C-alpha cells in the first residue's frame, strides 16, 4: 500500500500502512518504523548529527550567536573566518544558511554594543556584515 505524499522518515520507503489506533499512526512496511504526524516527533530536524528537535536547534542557534559575539570580541572580524569557525563548531547541527543567519544576527547584536564605543571597528564590521548578507542572498 502507498499513501500519497507520505514516506518513511527513517528509510524513505513509500510502502506505508495506516495503523489503527487513537491517533493517526503510520507504519513503514519496509523497516517497521511507526510514527504519528500529529506528535512532537514531527518537529524533528534532520542534521548531520542525527535527528534533533527544533527547540534544540533554536537553543544551538542562540549558543552559536553568543559564540559569534565571543569571536568578534577576540578580534576575529573577517566574515569568512567567522563562517569557518562557526561551521567547524556547529556544522553538524546547522545548515549553511542557518550558520549565515546566526552570524548575521550575532554581528548585528555586537554592532549595537560597540556602536558608540569603537567607531573604527563598527565601520569595519559593518562592511563584513554586508559581505555575509551577500553570501546569504546568493543562497549559500
Q: Which residues are at the interface with Zn ion (CB under 5 A)?
A: 8, 10-11, 13, 28, 30-31, 33
Q: Identify which of residues 15 and 133 has a Cβ nearer to Zn ion in the complex.
A: 15
- Rounded to an integer, what distance in angstroms lies between the CA atom of residue 36 and that of residue 73? 45
Q: Rounded to the nearest whole angstrom, what is the least distance from the CB of residue 135 to Zn ion in the complex?
A: 36
Q: Identify which of residues 11 and 49 has a Cβ nearer to Zn ion in the complex.
A: 11
- Rounded to an integer, what distance in angstroms lies between the CA atom of residue 109 and that of residue 47? 26
Q: Identify which of residues 29 and 111 has a Cβ nearer to Zn ion in the complex.
A: 29
- The DSSP 8-state label assigned to residue 43 in this structure reads G
- The DSSP 8-state label assigned to residue 22 in this structure reads S
Q: Identify which of residues 51 and 80 has a Cβ nearer to Zn ion in the complex.
A: 51
- Rounded to an integer, what distance in angstroms lies between the CA atom of residue 10 and that of residue 50? 11
Q: Rounded to the nearest whole angstrom, what is the least distance from the CB of residue 107 to Zn ion in the complex?
A: 42
Q: Rounded to the nearest whole angstrom, what is the least distance from the CB of residue 34 to Zn ion in the complex?
A: 10
- Rounded to an integer, what distance in angstroms lies between the CA atom of residue 125 and that of residue 101? 16
Nearest to 111 by CA among 89, 133, 90, 128: 128
Q: Rounded to the nearest whole angstrom, what is the least distance from the CB of residue 45 to Zn ion in the complex?
A: 19
Amino acid at each position: 500500500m502507498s499513501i500519497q505524499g507520505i514516506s518513511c522518515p527513517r528509510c524513505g520507503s513509500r510502502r506505508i500502512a495506516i495503523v489503527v489506533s487513537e491517533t493517526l499512526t503510520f507504519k513503514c512496511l519496509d523497516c517497521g518504523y511507526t510514527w504519528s504526524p500529529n506528535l512532537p516527533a514531527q518537529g524533528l530536524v534532520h542534521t548531520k548529527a542525527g535527528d534533533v528537535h527544533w527547540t534544540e536547534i533554536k537553543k544551538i542557534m542562540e549558543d552559536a550567536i553568543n559564540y559569534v559575539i565571543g569571536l568578534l570580541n577576540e578580534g576575529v572580524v573577517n566574515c569568512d573566518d567567522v563562517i569557518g569557525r562557526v561551521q567547524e563548531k556547529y556544522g553538524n547541527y546547522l545548515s549553511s544558511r542557518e550558520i549565515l543567519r546566526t552570524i548575521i544576527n550575532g554581528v548585528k547584536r555586537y554592532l549595537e554594543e560597540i556602536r558608540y564605543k569603537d567607531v573604527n571597528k563598527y565601520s569595519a564590521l559593518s562592511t563584513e556584515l554586508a559581505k555575509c548578507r551577500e553570501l546569504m542572498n546568493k543562497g549559500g
